A and B are shown apart, each in its own frame.
Chain A
């Protein structure tokens, strides 16, 4: 009996050891992928969800998601990747594509094949002509208005402006003053892309054939004069209310119409449930404007150049999984209030005034990636004119000087690839 018990005990022990060993082996085989993302599950639920969905069908892959603060993320990420550290997979951004591209692996897809199903899949190419990041969603600037303010001023949907002249009229009815002070701006334009878009709307490209800035062109002067008119003559705006972020003044109920961006729609809704707002397309300088605004995009996650062959294989499969999954692609498009890059999903997004506005201006949105210094300098120039009362010529001269070291050839590249390029100066 003792012998039997001893044998049974040994068998049991061996089974336990073998089971434990197999579990350990299985977990050793699981490929762990570190992912960096500059936001939480509330902000980017659709991204977190795509990892979960992939893990469900690929049990041997485990994503370790590391959330980084937005501000640090874009400084830290390129330097980490360059030094051979950092994550295997990371969220990208068009504004930082120039510094992320050299540190990311190309995807093994041919642009010509992708073009059958996707709009503009070859915007971010690597050295071998293959895509590094593929657009997931197209979106961009829209105008938001506070519906309650609108109704209080006796305005209806019929009054939605289509030109800047019309907007000025509407904004005058919406502006509220306390003595001399504008306490609620009829229109907050204080983001840098107001100036960029308004230059484009006049048919002026933002760089010349030599890659030099055209911010000091006649179109640039016209925009700054218009901004002065909004601030000083019509007094429908106060740059300092939004101070570069009109969405902030909108959330504080200090502006009635803002130059916003599609991604803000969900953010407004989740931040303040009582904020009653809608969107409409960006007004135009003239009816024949060749561009209405820039097309921004959200991209597939970047694959670090430092990944192993096995990790690369997994991450390519993951990217394909995302691009081919209808629900994930639609969730991402809806999450940013944009239009899916997949041709068969265009028009399939949720019904919202923001997505409708994007859809209506889509054919005149120029896919564009600006170098960060161009954005900074445009904003500075607007501030110098609107806040500091610097003469327009001086502000533009400063801008040209500050951009003299900048490599603006990427702007040239995107402008030349624009569908209506022949209408741009």
Chain B
């Protein structure tokens, strides 16, 4: 009996040691690679900081003052919010509809699921390059198709009104598969017994959708929306590959602005100030999301 007690104590001790070890490792990892750089960037946002020239001079709020007076910052913020709103809506609505469709079919379900998921696993750089060619106003596929219907001279990425929507369309196409898979998994959790009971009670398909399926899928919906919002606020690659912020500044988004300031002009302080602003925007949006979740008892 005594032996068993000693063994339990030693087990507990080793378990405790493991917990401490894992915690220390995790804290060290996040301190070095996340919290440290975040604090450094925050401090740097108050400085004239150029790592190439080895300068780091505190200039108080000058970076922020200049930033808030810079129309390009407001335009980039507006473009970012526009991009997030459209792409998240597109991804969620389209993903949900496709998932509903796929859930109702019996044959070729796996094949269709794979087909929709295929673009998700493709590298964004490759996809952006291919779509850039598809959008080419002279030799691109879309122009060829439109020409067959008598529509000519559509400039897609070169048209300030079409450039950002064109990139949004490409992004939705690439990422919708992820939402489809998540929604399909959620749909499998909808209790069949409730659906059948509602059928007996005379509920039609629309009523089933609004009163049973969507409420059951609410946690999944909110998960997809939150993760999408956070990731699309950080959109960069497709902008960099397809338009480099152009024509003019019509597809400038915040992350592209940060990249340009930091790695083309080496104004790390100014870039850090934009990063802090982006961080605050994402934090506010996430906070609102959490509030909604809490209200919905998710």
Which A residues are closer than 8 A to B by beta carbons?
A: 75, 78-79, 82, 99, 102-103, 178-181, 183, 239-241, 243, 252, 254, 371-373, 376, 380, 383-384, 387-388, 390, 395, 398, 401-402, 404-406
Give CA–CA (A279, B159) in the complex, Å: 32
Contacts A183-B138, A401-B71, A402-B72: A384 and B248 contacting too (C-beta < 8 A)? yes
Give CA–CA (A359, B250) in the complex, Å: 40
In the complex, the 9 A-B pairs of residues with the closest C-beta atoms, listed nearest first: A384-B248, A240-B158, A387-B247, A99-B52, A388-B160, A383-B248, A383-B247, A388-B248, A181-B153
B79 to chain A, nearest CB (A): 14
How many contacts between A and B, using CB within 8 angstroms? 75
Instruction: State whether the Cβ of B109 lies closer than 8 Å to any Cβ in chain A.
Output: no
Q: Which residues of A contact B206 (CB under 8 A)?
A: none
Chain A proximity mask over B65-92: 1 for CB below 8 Å, otherwise 0? 0100011100000000000000000000
Contacts A383-B247, A388-B248: A401 and B54 contacting too (C-beta < 8 A)? no
Give CA–CA (A404, B35) in the complex, Å: 32
Q: Please choose the segment from B11-19, B167-175, B225-233, B264-272 that sits at the chain A interface, where 4 or more of its residues have CB less than 8 A away.
A: B264-272
Give CA–CA (A78, B262) in the complex, Å: 12
Docked-complex contact A180 and B263, CB < 8 angstroms: no
Give CA–CA (A222, B56) in the complex, Å: 40
Q: Which residues of B contact A78 (CB under 8 A)?
A: 52, 266
- Selected A-B contacts with CB under 8 Å, 17 pairs: A75-B264, A79-B51, A79-B52, A102-B52, A102-B53, A179-B152, A180-B153, A181-B152, A183-B138, A254-B138, A373-B264, A376-B264, A387-B246, A398-B72, A401-B72, A405-B66, A406-B265
Docked-complex contact B267 and A405, CB < 8 angstroms: yes
Query: Which B-chain residue is minimally distant from A249 (CB atoms)?
Result: B138
A196 to chain B, nearest CB (A): 18
Q: Which residues of B contact A406 (CB under 8 A)?
A: 265
Docked-complex contact B267 and A243, CB < 8 angstroms: no
Q: Which residues of B contact A387 (CB under 8 A)?
A: 158-160, 246-248
A63 to chain B, nearest CB (A): 26
Instruction: State whether the Cβ of B249 lies closer than 8 Å to any Cβ in chain A.
Output: yes
Instruction: State whether the Cβ of B137 lies closer than 8 Å to any Cβ in chain A.
Output: yes
Chain A proximity mask over B145-162: 1 for CB below 8 Å, otherwise 0? 000000011010011100
Docked-complex contact B66 and A404, CB < 8 angstroms: yes
